[in-house]
Amino acid sequence: MSASPEQLLALVRRSLDTGTGLAAECYREPAFFALERERVLRPGWHAVARWDALPEAGEHMPVDLLGEPILVVRGEDGTLRAFSNVCPHRGHIVAGDRGRAKTLVCPYHRWAFGLDGALRAAPLMDETPGFDRARCGLTKLRTALWQGFLLVCLDDATPDVLPSLAPLDERLADAGLAELVEIGTLEFDSAWNWKVMVDNFMESYHHLGIHVDSLQKTHPAKGTYGVEGDGPFAILENPGVEEGDHLLVAQVFPTLLFSIVEGIRFGVWYEMQIEGPDRFRLVIHALAPPELARAEGAPAALMGQVEKIHHEDIAACEGVQRGLASRIWRPGPLSVKELCLARFHRHLAQRLGA
Ligand code: FES
Ligand SMILES: [Fe+2]
């Protein structure tokens, strides 16, 4: 029998009270996912693109954000905007694919929208009494450009995100994250809960296990520590063995995950396109300074490393997801190395009203 929302929220409270990880139900139950989609995910700010995506005016790409079809468009003025990708006429998807165009034309009845979303043409509609073109543009979504990420929020009631991230900006002041360009992407269908990915990303404790032959050599588990901060984010520091290896790992709640090696300024952004309680599409974006992006062989070598590490993490996340199917298991204590997980779980509890 599945648990009621009250029982699920009580499980979250209990894990915070006892210093353990979250109960299996929080990663597995469709009812928990429904709660978290409404109270945590839909009201959240989510990264959908980097600043250098879609460089030419008129370039656009559809993105599925929590089941909401959205369209990211580079305007004539160079601004990156996000719109609902659902046609204001009868609800067809406006742009099904990436492309470049002067106007965005819905294929169903050929209503055409400017790159600013305004309705430019609607065949035969002038014959319709009372038709008000000005009210029939694409719905513009709230966006913010933060450290090179285009953030989108689907909820008008959510406060602006930038002020709350000021303390994280301070930590990132010398990292140069905002200028990094995308040098490649890797995509994976991931058959586990999105929070399993977050928990994995936000601790380096597992370097001594799953990554014993790779990251443990450069960024051992022992030296890592989470940082308490004031805002909707978590920061994990990993000094690394060599000078310049310092790794900064961060989560902007709920879904933005990124890390940066501060010496070479090489970063990754783990974009989770969440599809359900037990699956998401992961797009790993590799980020680097323009000069590194141009250095012969460097991007390919870096992408190779990212892929190798992620294959190790796939094994970890799949192993956890399998374990979460157990009805015997109860969550164990989080270590001091897992401070960021506790912080994230507190955020969830607060947003869920647990
Ligand atoms: S639904 Fe888009 S033009 Fe009719
Ligand atoms: Fe890992």
Residues with CB under 5 A from ligand 2 (ion): 313
Query: 144 Cβ partners below 8 Å, 6+ apart?
Result: 45, 150, 151, 153, 160, 161, 162
Whether residue 206 contacts residue 336, with contact meaning beta carbons closer than 8 Å, is answered with no
8-state DSSP, 84: E
Cis peptide before 129 (omega within 30 of 0): no
How much is the mean pLDDT over the chain? 96
Read off the pLDDT of residues 68-84 as tens digits, 9 standing for 90 and up: 999 999 999 999 999 99
Asked if 41 and 26 touch (Cβ cutoff 8 Å), the reply is no
Tokens of 188: 């994976």
Model pTM? 0.96
pLDDT bracket for residue 1 (50, 70, 90): low
CA dist., res. 349 & res. 77, Å (int): 41
Closest atom of ligand 1 to CA, residue 111: 3
Mutate which of 86, 90, 120, 128 for ligand 1 pocket (most atoms within 8 A of beta carbon):
90
* Amino acid type, 326: S
Instruction: With CA atoms as reference, report the closest residue to 89 among 132, 152, 60.
Output: 132
CA angle, residues 267, 202, 271, in degrees to nearest 5: 55
**Which ligand minimizes its atom distance to the CA of 209?**
2
- For the sheet with 45-50, list strands across it: 45-50, 149-153, 142-146
Mean pLDDT, rounded, for 113-134? 95
Ligand 1 proximity of 111 Cβ (cutoff 6 Å): yes
User: From CA 119, how far away is CA 20, in angstroms rounded?
Assistant: 53
Instruction: Report the pLDDT averaged over residues 32-38.
Output: 97
Q: What is the pLDDT of residue 158?
A: 97
Q: What angle do CA 249, 251, 256 make, to 5 degrees?
A: 120
Per-residue pLDDT tens for 255-275?
A: 999 999 999 999 999 999 999
Q: How far is the C-alpha of 202 from the C-alpha of 205, rounded, in Å?
A: 9
Could you give the C-alpha distances from 48 to 69, 149, 153, 292, in angstroms and in order?
A: 12, 7, 10, 24
Examine the pLDDT at 350 and tell me if it is beyond 90. yes
Q: Is the CB of 87 under 6 A from ligand 1?
A: yes
The secondary structure element, H or E, covering residue 149 is strand 149-153
Q: Which helix (H) or strand (E) holds 83?
A: strand 80-84
| pLDDT tens for each residue of 280-329 | 999 999 999 999 989 999 999 999 999 999 999 999 999 999 999 999 99
Bridge partners of residue 187, in order along the sequence? 283
Q: Residue-wise over 6-32: b if at least 16 C-beta within 10 A, else e?
A: eebbebbeebbeeebbbbbbbbbbebb
Residue-wise pLDDT for 209-259, tens only, equals 999 999 999 999 999 999 988 899 999 999 999 999 999 999 999 999 999
Q: Quote the pLDDT of residue 229.
A: 84
pLDDT tens, 173-212?
999 999 999 999 999 999 999 999 999 999 999 999 999 9
- The number of residues making up the chain comes to 354
Of 299, 241, 242, nearest to 266 by C-alpha is 299
* pLDDT band with cut points at 50, 70 and 90 for residue 124: very high
Is the CB of residue 281 below 6 angstroms from any atom belonging to ligand 1?
A: no
With beta carbons less than 8 A apart as the criterion, state whether 192 and 318 touch: yes
**pLDDT (0 to 100) of residue 3:** 87
Q: Supply the DSSP symbol for 97.
A: S
- The burial of 290, by beta-carbon neighbours within 10 Å (0-12 exposed, 13-18 middle, 19 or more buried), is given as exposed
